[in-house]
Amino acid sequence: MSLRDKHIVIGISGSIAAYKIATLVRLLRKADASVQVIMTQEATQFITPLTLSTLSNNPVFVDYYDQKTGEWNNHVHVAESADLILIAPATANTIAKCAQGICDNLLQAVYLSAKSRVLIAPAMDLDMWIHPSVNNNIELLKSYGNVIIPPGKGELASGLVGEGRLAEPEEIFAYILDFFEKGMPLKGKKALVSAGPTYEAIDPVRFIGNHSSGKMGYAIANRLHELGAEVTLVSGPTVLSPAVGINRIAVQSAAEMLDACSKFFDQADITVMSAAVADYTPTEVADQKIKKKAEDFTISLKKTTDILATLGTRKHENQTLVGFALETNNELENAIGKLRRKNLDFIVLNSMQDKGAGFAHDTNKITVIDKNAEILTFDLKSKTEVAKDICRLIIKHQESLGL
């Protein structure tokens, strides 16, 4: 496969495995890719910038500016011009910085400015690779939408034998080819995802809400982004952050969520409404904090607009519309009813009867029903894996539309 017109940025950190990147650069250049190398100061101790500049036919960037000419190496420009960013070898130190958002060199500045997908190829000693702190940082990087290229097994620089070796150049090259060939089936598509709860104000300090954490919706948004879609995430209040490159719109109330979703729906090829939207909102909101005086207190409520049903009336034939149903009884019957009433292509059923599923958990157990009443059941999985299952169905539906 030719990589003509593909611009790949490679970030090299300070590991003995840095020497392998010379071979990778040659493989990429033979495939007609444009390659820009960025190195940390520590990396220059293992392989010279001159070697990589010669092989890539581009200057190698190490610092924020060239100390001889004073010319600025614009990290934003470097990041925005990349079709793919690869960090290899990624040391435990660099992985920690990426996971925690530390920016103390040019490589980190480029990473934090990334708009494209980021592949990370770790390289370190066995004891470091299996350390819990490294494992936690790897999981954080995955949650941000980064792709981890697993290290290989073999003899390490320390003399130990085990996992931690940088993947071979040919393996990394294969990952890059796979990324451009298969990794982005939704490239060019626009996706709209809603997530989290809504808060319906009673007075300036109190609200009606629910226990939704937003984890499922964020996992779906991140996965759609990984698959190449341009994702808009309309999020109720949550502590979560989406992957870099996702357009997050923060809302509080059901009315605000309706407005935001309505704005982006018509242009969306894919819409997944996973938010736990309040069914009722106070008729009146007090201007001042309500004092605790009476023994009994009554709040008058009115129905909120059904966002999913509203979008269903506007749905056109080339769109994929997915809804969620959290049920406590008559689960299938109620879910199928919602599917039909709201003109959905799929409805994802959660049952409160299933242990480990529903609000706030890191896991979920779903049943998916499509518009032809076909029922698919899935085992209890992490919400990241559940998101992959849902997205596979979305891809198949988009393909069935000939899109």
Q: Which of 210, 247, 334, 343 is catalytic?
A: 210
3-state SS, the chain, equals CCCCCCEEEEEECCCHHHHHHHHHHHHHHHCCCEEEEEECCHHHHCCCHHHHHHHHCCCCECCCECCCCCCECCHHHHHHHCCEEEEEEECHHHHHHHHHCCCCCHHHHHHHCCCCEEEEEECCCHHHHCCHHHHHHHHHHHHCCCEECCCEEEECCCCCEEEEECCCHHHHHHHHHHHHHCCCCCCCCEEEEEECECCEECCCCCEECCCCCCHHHHHHHHHHHHCCCEEEEEECCCCCCCCCCCEEEECCCHHHHHHHHHHHHCCCCEEEECCECCCEEECCCCCCCCCCCCCCCCCCEEECCCHHHHHHHHCCCCCEEEEEEEECCCHHHHHHHHHHHCCCCEEEEEECCCCCCCCCCCEECEEEEECCCCEEECCCEEHHHHHHHHHHHHHHHHHHCCC
Q: In angstroms, what is the C-alpha Rg of the chain?
A: 24
Catalytic site includes residue 210: yes
The residues annotated as belonging to the active site are: 210
